[in-house]
Amino acid sequence: MRFGVVIFPGTWSDCDFHYVIGEVLHQPVKYVWHRDTDLGDLDCLILPGGFSYGDYLRAGAIAGRSPVVEALPDFVARGGYVLGSCNGFQILCEAGMLPGALMRNECLQYRCQSTHLFVENAETPFTRGLRPGQVLKMPISHGEGKYYADPETLRTLKARNRIVFRYCTEAGDVTKDANPNGSLENIAGIVNEGGTVLGLMPHPERAAETAMGGTDGLLLFHSLVGSLVEDGSVLKR
Amino acid sequence: MRARVFVRLKRGILDPQGAAVKRALEGLGYREVQELRVGKVLELELEGTDRGQAHGRLEEMCRRLLANPVTEEFTVEIVEDGARGVR
């Protein structure tokens, strides 16, 4: 299925995503420049990690108003999938595609480490190859990953089963100690109402080969590709 | 005209950066500081002389980009009218 990997000035995980999709998953993939708005030939758009526009003003703020991001509502409305990782998650929140915000880590330190993720929702196109309660190992690398949402938004997220991943221990316990950045209720990833836009702080593209220390990130891609194939050609154009 | 926009975290939202700066001041002996929160000041130079219109446009800029409505609040002030340098 056809993937696009967006490049903003300051993006850094674009090559990793491109490599994993093209060389590991063997799916067609191309780069998409941040000024491009024609996404007609794509099924899934990736917003990779990095420091778009130097994180000026707020992480993801300027990229969140860029032409490619302003084209996302239409892309999603006609069935496109969007995965934002790290800075991509920040951009999706800044653009209002996902609720809440990513704030400075509570510890005030940049955290580059391995984390474990509790799979809360295994019904999204990104997680349907997983089982609820499964524990995935994936790295994080960010200074502003503390998820925040007001109480009403949090209630909605829970009621609609939109919390997809929570930071947990290796054994799968969602504890304060397993929370690397002070995220509200250990939230590491959420989806939009339709389940087709996923934002997560961890880096699935950095956990896609055994040589890199694990392949759990690949499970998200397999879920997604499986779902795309299962649905037929997916996008109504 | 010149304007200033102040962006700060909403009340009730934890400001770990402010807490760290407060601790540093305590370390320097400034124990009277009870609370400290870090915000941002943006200074803008604007075309035009209509204060009311400028104020409205600045608030729109804040809502659309300069502040994040989820976590931040803002205030806008016009600091100088007319030609640059003249108060």
We report the CATH number of the domain holding residue A64 as 3.40.50.880
Answer whether residue A24 shows pLDDT above 70: yes
Angle at A164 between CA A138 and CA A63, to 5 degrees: 75
Answer whether residue B86 shows pLDDT above 80: no
A vs B: CB pairs below 8 A: 33
Q: Residue A204: name the closest of A93, A127, A120 by CA.
A: A127
Please list every residue in chain A whose beta carbon sits closer than 8 Å to the beta carbon of residue B20. 108
Q: How far apart are CA A92 and CA A199, in angstroms?
A: 7
Q: pLDDT tens-digit profile of A114-160?
A: 999 999 999 999 999 999 999 999 999 999 999 999 999 999 999 99
CA distance B15 to chain A (A): 8
Tokens 């005209």 identify what position? B1
Tokens 């699935």 identify what position? A204
Nearest chain A residue (CA) to B71: A101
Per-residue pLDDT at A234: 40
The answer to the question of residue A172 being in a domain is yes
Nearest chain A residue (CA) to B16: A106
Per-residue pLDDT at A226: 85
Q: What average pLDDT does the segment A189-201 reach? A: 98
Q: How far apart are CA B69 and CA B67, in angstroms?
A: 6
CA distance A237 to chain B (A): 31
Please list every residue in chain A whose beta carbon sits closer than 8 Å to the beta carbon of residue B64. 65
Tokens 């130097």 identify what position? A54
Nearest chain A residue (CA) to B17: A108
Cβ contact, residue pair B20, A100, below 8 Å:
no
Tokens 């930071």 identify what position? A167
Three-state SS for A168? strand
Q: Which amino acid is at B52?
A: G
The answer to the question of residue A81 being in a domain is yes
Q: pLDDT tens-digit profile of A34-75?
A: 999 999 999 999 999 999 999 999 999 999 999 999 999 999
CA distance A75 to chain B (A): 21
Cα–Cα distances in angstroms (integers) from residue A154 to residues A149, A150, A158, B34, in the given order = 6, 6, 6, 31
- Residues A63/A71, Cβ–Cβ less than 8 Å: no
> Is A205 among the residues known to form the active site?
yes
Nearest chain B residue (CA) to A63: B65
For B31-46, the DSSP string reads: TT-------EEEEEE-
Structure tokens at A172: 């799968």
Sheet holding A135-142, edge to edge: A29-33, A3-7, A44-47, A81-85, A197-200, A187-191, A163-168, A111-119, A135-142
Q: From the list B20, B65, B71, which residue is nearest A148 (CB)?
A: B71
Q: Does A57 touch chain B (CB under 8 A)?
A: yes
- Residues B79/B36, Cβ–Cβ less than 8 Å: no
State which H helix or E strand residue B27 sits in: helix B16-27
Per-residue pLDDT at A230: 56
Per-residue pLDDT at A117: 98
Please list every residue in chain B whose beta carbon sits closer than 8 Å to the beta carbon of residue A58. 68
Residues 6 or more apart whose Cβ sits within 8 Å of residue A148: A100, A101, A102, A103, A183, A184, B13, B70, B71
- Residues A138/A206, Cβ–Cβ less than 8 Å: yes
Per-residue pLDDT at B82: 58
The answer to the question of residue A160 being in a domain is yes
Q: pLDDT tens-digit profile of B46-60?
A: 998 899 999 999 999
The answer to the question of residue A236 being in a domain is no
Q: What average pLDDT does the segment A95-99 reach? A: 98
Fold exhibited by the domain B2-80: Mth169; Chain: A , (3.30.1280)
How many structural domains is chain A composed of? 1
Residue A116 lies in domain: 3-230
> Is A144 among the residues known to form the active site?
no
Three-state SS for A5? strand
